Amino acid sequence: MSNRLEGRFAAVTGAASGNGRAIAEKLLSDGATLAAIDLNADALAGVFGDRPDVLQVQADVADEESVKAGFTRISDAFGRLDVLVNNAGIVKFGSFENLSRAEWDQVFAVNSTGPFLVSREAYPLLKAGDGDHTRSIVNITSVEAHIVISSSGHPQVHYNASKGALLQLTRALAVEAAPSGIRVNAVAPGFIETPFTAEALAKDEVRNWLLERTPLGRVGKPEDVANGVAFLASDEASWVTGTTLFVDGGWTIY
């Protein structure tokens, strides 16, 4: 806990579960006022209750009108933003030769187009942010934007490609947004224990396969991801843009 985001306004997508929930809680504990965005209004209410420092925003990041409506509420409530975290994402498995156009589109709609739509609506609010502090976007990519984990036995070219697109969105926008004082970075998690991975991690053979390939010898926690995000969102990272922080226990170097 610190006060390094005291007086800052932040928005986190997919804030009702897993990594997004931990990121939201970390930014709040660092002093931010937060817009918690998620598909599921009941889940948001269940997590954040009636906290006065949280604006609960039901929105589908893949739906342009829904994102616009959500950001109208955020603009009315905050007037500006200092931090945006594009965390909402979905994972799907399936072999390439059986992959349908609909499955491909669904994964891209949430994982790649979603961060584009959300960032575009957030952009004027970030530009209006506090000029005394750095403002930033943090995109949650994945180690699978960089590597393909074939030994998992779960092919997912659509997921790999969608996270690769988000990685390059991060880097290209970092260049374009820099003159406005907005930094854009990514956190690439390895395997993190969340509802997203619960089914796979419940199997002993999967957990053992994972632990054997992770130099730091444990599965990641959502708080590990949140700590990386909080650093990139803070002024401690004021000369850091266009980069990726791997939070993976060493997976990608092994």
Would you say 16 or 125 has its CB closer to ligand NAP? 16
161 is written with which tokens? 């490609």
Q: What is the footprint of ligand NAP within residues 114-133 (CB under 6 A)?
A: 114
Interface pick for ligand NAP out of 39, 173, 174, 210 (rule CB under 6 A): 39
Size of the site for ligand NAP (CB under 6 A): 30
157, 99 contact by CB (below 8 A) = yes
Sign of CA dihedral 155, 158, 164, 167: negative
End-to-end alpha carbon distance in the chain: 32
- What's the min distance (Å) between Cβ of 63 and ligand NAP? 7
Assess 25 for contact with ligand NAP (CB under 6 A): no
- What's the min distance (Å) between Cβ of 72 and ligand NAP? 16
156, 103 contact by CB (below 8 A) = no
Interface pick for ligand NAP out of 5, 8, 13, 74 (rule CB under 6 A): 13
Would you say 129 or 189 has its CB closer to ligand NAP? 189
Would you say 18 or 129 has its CB closer to ligand NAP? 18
159: annotated active-site residue: yes
**Per CB under 6 A, which region of 47-55, 56-64, 76-84, 147-155 contacts ligand NAP?**
56-64
Closest CA to 5 of 162, 236, 245, 254: 236
Using DSSP, state whether 159 is helix, strand or coil.
helix
Q: What is the footprint of ligand NAP within residues 174-233 (CB under 6 A)?
A: 189, 191-192, 194-197
- What's the min distance (Å) between Cβ of 240 and ligand NAP? 20
DSSP string over 86-152:
E---------GGG--HHHHHHHHIIIIIHHHHHHHHHHHHHHTS-TTS-EEEEEE--GGGT---GGG
Residues 6+ apart with CB under 8 A from 205: none
DSSP string over 197-223:
THHHHTSHHHHHHHHHT-TT-S-B-HH
Q: What is the footprint of ligand NAP within residues 61-100 (CB under 6 A)?
A: 61-62, 87-91
Question: Which of 78, 108, 123, 159 does the annotation list as catalytic?
Answer: 159
Would you say 13 or 241 has its CB closer to ligand NAP? 13
Interface pick for ligand NAP out of 25, 60, 82, 224 (rule CB under 6 A): 60
Active site residues: 159
Query: Which residues make up the interface to ligand NAP (CB under 6 A)?
Result: 13-14, 16-20, 38-40, 43, 60-62, 87-91, 110, 114, 140, 142, 189, 191-192, 194-197
